[in-house]
Amino acid sequence: MIQINNLKKAYGKRIVLSIDDLTINKSELVGLVGNNGAGKTTMLSLILDLIEPSKGSVQSKNQFVSKSDDWKSYTGSYLNEGFLIPFLTPMEFFEFIGKLHGLNNADIKSFLNDNGPFYADDITAKKYIRELSSGNKNKVGILAALLPAPEILILDEPFANLDPSSQSWLKSKLKKLNDEGVTILISSHDLKHVTDICDRILLIEHGIIVKDKITNAETLDELENYFNTASKAL
């Protein structure tokens, strides 16, 4: 589904990401873990063609993301607040995104009903997105990414700022979507969440993927050990 070849991103001489070869297969649920500044967001931004690679390429369904726009019609994404339009109400924002994918207001209503638990009262209130709390902004962004029923879903730290109920709702939602065949790539600092739901975990450090594992019973311990050792090395 997503193929990365010899991808490098450097700012001046500082290399922030370097991936020789990585393939994410259809209907995989991949978790990206790593400390701050490891290159997680850079990697997701490169996959979404938001930043220009210094070298190498990203392909989605065998098409280069920087050359063709086709991936945009089947990829839902939310990385940060830059993906939200601050002066719209959440409803207007969903309409805007929905219209881009040819959905009408009835489609959007039924989508929001289906995802009711995640769609709190605060979001329905007539407030502009810029007035929402970080958690609710996050929810709006994730819902907007889910809205066009994407085949690929890319989320950067989706659990951050979410209340506990929403976190567990989102976990089961992602699991369910994945069972339906959606390819999902998320980054997170919460090792428990990641090991709970992901089939495959990529551990990234200083811009390099140092571990690429299929999740099993020991993965959580293994990751915790890894980060504990890393913290002692500081």
Partner 1 sequence: MIELLIHQWKEKIRSPFWQKSVILNIVLGILGLYLLLNFVMIGYFADVILKKVFVNADVVESFARILFYYFAFDLIIRFFVQQVPTLSIQPYLTLPIKKAKLLHYPLIKSIPDFINIVALLLILPFFVKVVCVTKTPLFCLAWIMTVFSLVAINNYLNFSLKKYFSKRPFLILLVLVIVGLLIYLDISKTLSVSYYFSTSFLDIAETPILVILPIMIAATSYYLGYYLLKKNSYIEDKQTNQRVNAGSFSFLTRYGEIGNLMRTEIKMILRNKRPKSLLFISLIFFAYGFLFYQDKNLNNYLILIFIGFFLTSIFAVQYGQFSFSWESSFFDCYLANKISPFSYMKSKFMLFALTSTIGFLVTLPYALISYKIAYINAAMLIYNIGISSVMILAFSTYNTTRIDLGRSQFMNYQGTGVTQFLSVIPVAGFPAIIYLVFKHFGVPQYSIYALALLGSLGIVFNTFLLKMVTRQFLKRKYKMALGFRQI
Where do contacts with partner 1 occur on this chain (CB under 8 A)? 48-52, 69, 72-73, 75, 77, 79-89, 91-92, 95-97, 99-101, 125-128, 131, 148
Indicate the residue among 73 and 110 with the shorter CB distance to partner 1: 73
Single-letter amino acid, residue 57: S
SS3 209: strand
Q: What minimum distance in Å lies between the beta carbon of 158 and partner 1?
A: 15
Q: What minimum distance in Å lies between the beta carbon of 85 and partner 1?
A: 5
Q: What minimum distance in Å lies between the beta carbon of 95 and partner 1?
A: 8
Task: Report d(CA 114, CA 139) in Å as an integer.
Answer: 14
Q: What minimum distance in Å lies between the beta carbon of 99 and partner 1?
A: 5
Indicate the residue among 104 and 110 with the shorter CB distance to partner 1: 104
Indicate the residue among 14 and 232 with the shorter CB distance to partner 1: 14
Indicate the residue among 32 and 223 with the shorter CB distance to partner 1: 32
Among residues 7, 38, 74, the alpha carbon closest in space to that of 204 is found at 38
Q: What minimum distance in Å lies between the beta carbon of 126 and partner 1?
A: 5
Are 44 and 156 within 8 A, CB to CB?
yes
Give, in order, the Cα–Cα distances in Å from 43 to each of 65, 112, 152, 175: 13, 30, 15, 22
Task: Report d(CA 163, CA 165) in Å as an integer.
Answer: 6
Helix axis angle, 164-179 relative to 134-146, nearest 10°?
A: 10
Indicate the residue among 45 and 195 with the shorter CB distance to partner 1: 45
- As given in the structure block, the two tokens for residue 40 are 């997680």
Among residues 79, 183, 189, the alpha carbon closest in space to that of 137 is found at 79
